[in-house]
Structure 1
């Protein structure tokens, strides 16, 4: 198996702005095929939203346990201001620079290097890899889950390689995530001249009152493992170019990140009722429900592997945004652990070379420990 830095460079050199397909999956599949994995690639979606997904499996002895690595090969757009090419990986000062270095081609390279050192007799190892995580996430991991089910594949445990570390590699793992719902709000009025307000109906005061009520809500005080839910106003739009016209419509958007005291449906209903009281309507889209993998055997395996390689005992956390773990939790227990996230989505995204080697060792330890557990 090629060394982890070479694997990371191969993946990073393939442009894969979401939705990803093509060359980056070529590099991924070629490396895994070389160490005995059966690689299945398939497309999902339509038009400009077509994405590529990949399920790679190396089966162990009959009845053995199944451990899955999961992640994404798509990246966010590079933006301007890079010191070197965003898709021309370069090592400078002990760091590997390039888009995807930490989120999350570097972690996938570490998984691949680790897989090459796991004996096949230890059990079944799989990779659940999508090209649709940084975008809408409509045609990625969910399609992979359906594909796995059609193949009769059921991992016992799954590790997602999101960049969870904060200050040093190993200081945090994610044992859960809050849910997310975005809600579009609108109030209809009646257009008219500002000098004749009695002949018009201004929707803006109604929308402002609605937003004031929403902003004043105290959603909860948090739970044992989750921070308090929060509601943020993320857009306000009227689009009225005339200074002497009362507009006919006013719109806003809110985003709620919520803990396990709530659901997307409960917030959709609550916000809908508030909007209706102010003469408006609400159109919600829930992108994920909260989930928790309670501390136990799986988190202990990860903690032991991290401690052995770094001397750090990782903090179990549920902070941060959403990830594809929100889908995978329906398949098996899932925990996220990966590189330091300080440069993700930034220009000059970079990973420490030493961290790539250390992470590969950590992933190898975790997988071998997971496959050795009884009950396969």
Structure 2
């Protein structure tokens, strides 16, 4: 039986599956075909929740006496956008000038393809891992992340699964393979701020209360002063206003209300609770300043609604996991990777509650773009890195 030792062949099989969130698109079936010849037991649970699409996921495990390594990732991809803008069809796995094109090539079917190839080569050479290996693959990472990794972890843990370490195959490298390992992530907190005013005619402002003025006061307090200047391992906390709306098409009407949505990416100076308290304190103080509400004595009336499921900041401290991966990367690429916490969130934020987790994958320059693509040489290099990491990590236990 042919083993999936070629990462390019593995990736081509996955790219030909149109698995745009929430569709499975055949991607998990393709993974099952690759994994079962390697001795994996494959299960594909479907999770549901009211108001969200059902999501099919995959959990595969290969038995072994020893420590348990998890590889985590996702086969769902973002939409292709204007397909006519692509140089090659986004689900054809076309190769041109040494690069394979396709939605998900980098984010992150490529990482999955390489990890499977690395395992297959180890097994084919008689150097199978001396422990247990599992793959936790969701179809909901690019979507609301409700029926994916969170529930898959809970489901597996309820069956008695425990893990010693995890590597997530997200595209972590900014320019070339070997640049960066993600060892943590900033937290993410979102909310909607609504200022209540009094509707009226724009020519008679004394009879109304323009909520836009109040909103300017409150937003100004959120943006300044800065929350902090960063920490040893994290960037400074940053708040971005992502939308402002008054729901008013008329130019001669003072609106009834004004809203602003914002997102904060925060470092380890803060917890979700302490950051929420700081924001509430800023808004309460600003509401009494009435900076843009001349002649008004009442405080600005506002409502603040926090979005569900904030992401908590985390930093992995497992030196064996981090050191083994860093040495494996350097051995293959001659580059010593930076240990970073930059970027957005990933499913590592859920996995960190079960075991130490790091992220390392392909170069992310074309992820989510038209003509997403990966050099075939990078697929081979990442496979070699993963193979060396697997051997070294199990060998150190």
TM class by shorter chain equals: over 0.9
Q: Tell me if the contact between 1:175 and 1:295 (Cα under 8 Å) persists in the aligned partners.
A: no
Q: Secondary structure at the match of 2:306?
A: strand
User: Matches of 2:262 and 2:357 in 1, distance apart?
Assistant: 29
1:20 and 1:132 in contact (8 A); partners too: no
Aligned-partner Cα distance in 2 for 1:283–1:267: 14
User: Does 2:6 align with 1:12?
Assistant: no
Q: Partner residue of 2:120?
A: 116
For this pair of structures, how many residues does the alignment match?
Answer: 372
Unmatched tracts of structure 1, length 5 or more? none
Q: 1:316 matched to which residue of 2?
A: 339
1:311, CA displacement in angstroms? 1.0
Runs of at least 5 residues in structure 2 that lack an aligned partner in the other structure: 288-299
Could you say which residue in structure 1 is the equivalent of 2:368?
345
Q: Does 1:200 align with 2:208?
A: yes
Residues 246-325 of structure 1 aligned to structure 2 (within 5 Å): 246-276=254-284, 277=287, 278-285=300-307, 286-294=309-317, 296-325=319-348
1:99-150 Cα offsets, whole Å, 9 max, x none, are 1111000110001111213444611000010011111111111011101111
Note closer, same or farther for the CA distance 1:121–1:176 as it changes in structure 2 (3 Å cut): closer
1:51 counterpart (40, 46, 55): 55
Which residue in the other structure is 2:294 paired with?
Answer: none
- What residue number does 2:34 align with? 31
Residue of structure 1 in register with 2:97 after alignment? 93
TM-score (norm 2): 0.91
Q: How does 1:147-226 map to 2 (within 5 A)?
A: 147-226=155-234
How far apart, CA to CA, are the structure 2 residues paired with 1:120 and 1:218? 51
Q: Distance in 1 between matches of 2:387 and 2:271?
A: 36
In the TM superposition, residue 50 of structure 1 has moved relative to its aligned partner by 1.3
User: Which range is displaced more, 75-84 or 286-295?
Assistant: 286-295
- Offset of residue 45 of structure 1: 2.3
Q: Does 1:75 align with 2:77?
A: yes
Under a length normalisation based on structure 1, what TM-score does the superposition of the two structures give?
0.96
Aligned residues: CA RMSD: 1.4
2:106 — aligned with what? 102
Given that residues 55 and 127 in structure 1 are in contact (C-alpha distance below 8 angstroms), is that contact kept between their aligned partners in structure 2?
Answer: yes
Alpha-carbon shift at residue 287 of structure 1 (Å): 3.0
